[in-house]
Amino acid sequence: MLLEKYLGRYDFEIATLPDAADVERRLARFRPDVLVLDLMLPGEDGLSVCKRLRGRGETVPIIMLTARDEPFDRVLGLELGADEYIGKPFEPRELVARIDALLRRARLPVAAPDISENVRVGDWIFDRASRELLRGQERVSLTSGEFALLKALTDHPLEPLRRDQLLALARDSAQELSDRAIDVQVSRLRKYLEQDPRAPRYIQTVWGVGYVFVPASRAIS
């Protein structure tokens, strides 16, 4: 109730739920720009909700909010598809800043589709106009974080990028994000794109630097 009142001061339109039971029904009728999930929900917890939504292709940006601020919990939340993770206690203004940043990123203009918007990554086509991965009849909708990171990498082929460069390219500069968040996003993209994520071919690690996108038949040694 306090957060709802506080966010209302910033002219956000707020819809609240006491637990996860009505999430599916509410999402069918009300399309939020950002979903804030508490990990410690009664009944189904926030991590389970996040995993289920991402599993069915839901791409709404998700902020995980929880008092369990251990590194394992943060990493698990990001691996399951959360875009942000805020541990309690926190300044309410921080939540506002994270919401604003996600909204700005989601509302960036998307260019009209043309051949320059498509990047081949192995068997997949990265369609930047629709923000999807395409393989035959298979379509994978990317979260805003996954899209931003893959776009940053494919915009700079064969150019090793440090984590701080990727943070600047893929995220709003006002956001305070960890290097670990980049690592988790890369891990998620590799699960989609690589035949063997443990031996990545297209999104390679450059030890001591960061990551590099290697297109077509090129390789980094």
8 and 79 both lie in a single domain: yes
- For 186-209, the pLDDT digits (tens) are 988 999 999 998 889 999 998 888
Q: CATH no. for residue 17?
A: 3.40.50.2300
Please state the length of the chain.
221
Shared domain for 166 and 101, answered yes or no, is no
With respect to residue 219, please indicate whether it lies within any of the assigned structural domains. no
- The confidence band for 153, taking pLDDT boundaries of 50, 70 and 90, is very high
Q: What is the pLDDT of residue 175?
A: 45
- With b for 16 or more beta-carbon neighbours within 10 A and e for fewer, the 105-122 pattern comes to bbeeeeeeeeeeeebebe
Domain assignment of residue 218, yes or no: no
Looking at the structure of the chain, the number of domains it has is 2
Q: What's the rounded mean pLDDT across residues 82-105?
A: 83
Q: Indicate whether 122 and 101 sit together in one domain.
A: no
Distance set, CA 74 to CA 70, 148, 188, 208 (Å): 6, 20, 15, 24
Do both 94 and 123 map to the same domain?
Answer: no
Question: Residue 87 and residue 79: Cα distance in Å, rounded?
Answer: 16
Give the domain range for residue 19: 2-106
Residue 36 lies in a domain: yes
Question: Is 142 part of a structural domain of the chain?
Answer: yes
Enter the tokens of residue 186.
Answer: 């890369």
CATH number at residue 205: 1.10.10.10
d(CA 31, CA 20): 16
* Prediction pTM value: 0.56
Tell me the per-residue pLDDT of 2-12, one tens digit each, with 9 for 90 and over. 888 888 888 88
